[in-house]
A and B are shown apart, each in its own frame.
Chain A
Amino acid sequence: MMEKMIFGRYLPLQSVVHRLDPRAKLLFIFGFVIVVFLANNALSYGLLAVFTLVFIYLSKINVRFLLAGLKPVIWLIAFTFLLHIFLTREGDLLFEAGFLKVYEGGVRQGAFISLRFLLLIFVTSLLTLTTSPISITDGLESLLKPFKKLKLPVHELALMMSISLRFIPTLMDETDKIMKAQMARGADFSSGPIKERVKAVVPLLIPLFVSAFKRAEELAVAMEARGYKGGEGRTKYRLLHWQGRDTAALIILVVLAALLWWTRS
């Protein structure tokens, strides 16, 4: 459980996708989400699917992990697929049983849309599965740098995110401890009507707040003692290096977009 909280869904493996710069991956995902909507016929969807499968293969991630991420939405996909099958009335009539009429267009629509949905989930999952939260944070800070000109607190945001990430296991531990202490006194957090839950959550929140503030205070003092003075001229422990493969990944995405543009009807 603890491990899981520190790394999120990150699976530390050795692969090309893991070694990609987090900035490249973030840009790639951002582009991919837009590119996916270009596909609109069998050929372009096939292209997208092949492309995604190649990336999954390159990442060496076990497909089991990707499928596990689908669990919460699998019924939704099935449901929308069926809705499309039964409600879209286009193309040739394929099958008729009483009031049920299945049209070719419906099957096609349902299949395409479910596929698009699956591919979107797979690719965004690949980001969180192959990149640790801390390097995503680094990548975000670096990508958002231009917004500093608009006086947005980019460095501060990244710092807060790293602090926040660092303390997830610590506070998780503490929440667990307090919950157990309250449960030993008969509190019930996981069931009951809203009123009961509200009553149960107050004695949990107050010690948590006090402890969070105490830790924040200690951390602030420690940082001040070490001469933290904001983002200006601060050096980094983990440096990001943009390499050939990162440029290559983005070029591949552009090529994919061009191919989709060419094959779409």
Chain B
Amino acid sequence: MKKMNIRTLTSVGLLSTLAYLLMLLNFPIPPFPSFLMIDFSDIPALIAAIIFGPLAGIMVELVKNVLDFFMTGSPTGVPVGHLANFVAGITFILPVYYVYKKFESKKGLTVALAAGAVFMAVMMSVLNYYVILPAYTLFLNAPAMSAPETKEMVVSAILPFNMIKGIVMAVVFLLIYSRIYVWMRKQAAVS
């Protein structure tokens, strides 16, 4: 693992703060259950990954979730939601980073973001089915769901929700990226 330099360290710190603050501005999308919330906290993580490499992106996701757990606690006591958010963030930024590295163009970025959104939606559906929803039923003691019920939940809520979340992230990131592209290049060159 490459050692991080001071600039990367401080930048990741600041971007995590930003991610944490954006996480506080979360909102549910009406047709989905209220524990599925959209926020823009994956954007700073994505920017960290593209400028400073994938490890920096993972760090932003990690610090953001740890901070949120310390500052606000978790309604389940055990941070299942934070873990889910962490995994969702990583499954989104890593594919975007690796696909984008292959092309390094605006079109490439669009493809990369689409890949990230799809990968996140699929991975989160699988993980929800096998790990996250059972964990919720264990800690939050909702009555245990049967396999068909869980499947129905995943297909009707988790999959479309993560798809929409991925698309919203992608659109916001494209809008931001087209504006600060040149400036970001410069940052990447300096670090």
Chain A residues within CB distance 8 Å of chain B: 5, 8-9, 33, 69, 72-73, 76, 80, 83-84, 87, 113-114, 116-117, 120-121, 123-125, 128, 133, 136, 140, 151, 153, 156-157, 159-165, 167-168, 171-172, 175, 189, 194, 197-198, 201-202, 205-206, 208-210, 212-213, 215-217, 219-220, 223-224, 228, 230
Contact = CB atoms under 8 A, between A and B. Distances in A.
A164 B141 contact: no
A213 B187 contact: yes
Interface of B: 1, 3-4, 6-7, 9-18, 20-22, 25, 27, 29, 38, 40, 43-44, 47, 55, 59, 62-63, 66-67, 70-78, 139-143, 164, 168, 171-172, 175-176, 179-180, 183, 187
A164 B14 contact: yes
Interface majority SS on A: helix, strand, loop or mixed? helix
A11 B180 CA distance: 41
Contacts of A136: 70
Contacts of B38: 194
B14 A73 contact: no
B168 A213 contact: no
B18 A209 contact: yes
A215 B14 contact: yes
B13 A159 contact: yes
Contact of A84 (B29, B44, B143): B143
Given A157-B59, A208-B18, A212-B15, A116 B10 contact: no
